[in-house]
Structure 1
């Protein structure tokens, strides 16, 4: 699982059950080395035992090290092979098509086949019911061949009015459908908690501005970069 990719606390492979403090380990190694440098006490009779304890400690550290490597290798192998239930879409429309990905207009994104489903996208025509532009000032309308590229997921950037809030509502609908079907793989835009929180705040702001009469169409300008998103795994109760 990019992760901003999440830090060790959420997505990175961990070493469960293995507690290790590098400082403690280094200090203990120094103690062992100092013991080896000591002059043997003939009257004590413990010289041989001390050397055996040192050797045994090194063997123990070696076994712990090998065990840790085994845990890391197993965890990484499991994580990477588990994620290969789906094929990444790459970084270009050509790579996305070659990987069997689908362009989803209301997400303005290429979605892996494993976590794609067309509903409710069939109810929307975002490239036909409003004008799209190639510049942020909304002065250069996208028409003709460029419009066809926009519809097929070829244009990297596009701008329009009133797309963002509708996109948010679309994502909520899509997540509810995924939950009803208990889908175990959901696209990374629909399943992204940060994105959902952002959508909630932005849509609430729009509703308040409409209610108090301060809404301005100039503030509804939306910029839409083309995305190549991944699948996220869900486990439903």
Structure 2
């Protein structure tokens, strides 16, 4: 095979201040700072217009974070209700599809196979209370690139997300699962 290393477009550093200095945009639905090339304005606006999203500093929802505070992108983490976590999964799949349809670069959180598998598993967890604050978000600074093309062109994806980072710094977790 010829070299198939897709170009790295950009990344937003490792702090909100650095992200702002690089003209990155904060995606509330993804709890991530992304370069302008990977920011889907239409989907972000759709998410940001919703008045129902909730955020908390703890897993019982008793220390609320205002939407305005969350939108600033300065919080290292936040807890959200299960239903909001699932809505995030649905929106990320739309973002993935739109990036492919319009041949746009994609952040490595959206394109991660591990994240897709995580969402697919969670979408059928009907035993969980949609209003339970059981999902912790971590602030992310993903890479923006075209590596999603490599997976399509060169034989699929690995469980590691085809070279994309999916480590502890890029995870959200379901902390309390009632079974």
- Above 0.5 in TM-score? yes
Deviation at 1:227, TM superposition (A): 0.8
Query: Greater shift after overlay, 115-124 or 96-105?
Result: 115-124
2: distance between equivalents of 1:107 and 1:194?
15
Q: Secondary structure of the residue that 2:61 maps to in structure 1?
A: coil
Structure 1 residue 87: deviation in Å?
Answer: 2.7
Cα distance in 1 between the residues matched to 2:64 and 2:39: 30
**How far apart, in 2, do the equivalents of 1:181 and 1:157 lie?**
31
| Residue in 1 that maps onto 2:113 | 193
Cα RMSD after superposing both structures:
2.7
CA contact (8 A) 1:171 1:190 kept: yes
Q: In 2, are the aligned partners of 1:107 and 1:167 still within 8 Å (CA)?
A: yes
| Distance in 2, Cα, partners of 1:127 & 1:165 | 15
Q: Which residue of 1 aligns with 2:77?
A: 157
Q: How many residues align?
A: 148
Distance 1:167 1:130 in 2: 10
Which structure has the highest strand share of the two?
2
Unaligned 5+ segments in structure 1 are: 1-15, 17-74, 210-214
Mapped pair 1:91 → 2:9: no
Aligned mate of 2:28, from 105, 128, 150: 105
Give the structure with higher Rg (CA).
Answer: 1
Q: Distance in 2 between matches of 1:118 and 1:148?
A: 18
Partner residue in 1 for 2:87: 166
The aligned residue for residue 102 of structure 2 is 181
Q: Distance in 2 between matches of 1:229 and 1:113?
A: 12
Decide whether aligned partners of structure 1 residues 116 and 216 sit closer, same or farther in structure 2, where only a CA change above 3 A counts: closer
State whether structure 2 residue 144 is matched by structure 1 residue 231.
yes
After superposition, the Cα gap between the structure-2 partners of 1:177 and 1:218, relative to the gap in structure 1 and judged at 3 Å, is closer
**1:26-41 paired onto structure 2 within 5 Å:** none
* From 74, 97, 118, the counterpart of 2:41: 118
1:221 aligns with 2:134: yes
Cα gap change, 1:220 to 1:149, in 2 (>3 Å): closer
Kept in 1: contact 2:43–2:95 (CA 8 A):
yes
Q: Does 1:205 align with 2:128?
A: no
Residues in 2 aligned to 1:223 and 1:123: alpha-carbon distance in whole angstroms: 22
Structure with greater contact order relative to length (CA < 8 Å, sep ≥ 6): 2
Contact 2:24/2:35 (CA < 8 Å) preserved in 1?
yes
Cα distance in 1 for residues equivalent to 2:63 and 2:98: 37
- Local SS of the residue matching 1:163: helix
- TM-score of the aligned structures, taking structure 2 as reference length: 0.71
Q: CA deviation at 1:170?
A: 0.4
Q: What is the SS of the residue equivalent to 1:194?
A: helix
Distance 1:154 1:232 in 2: 24
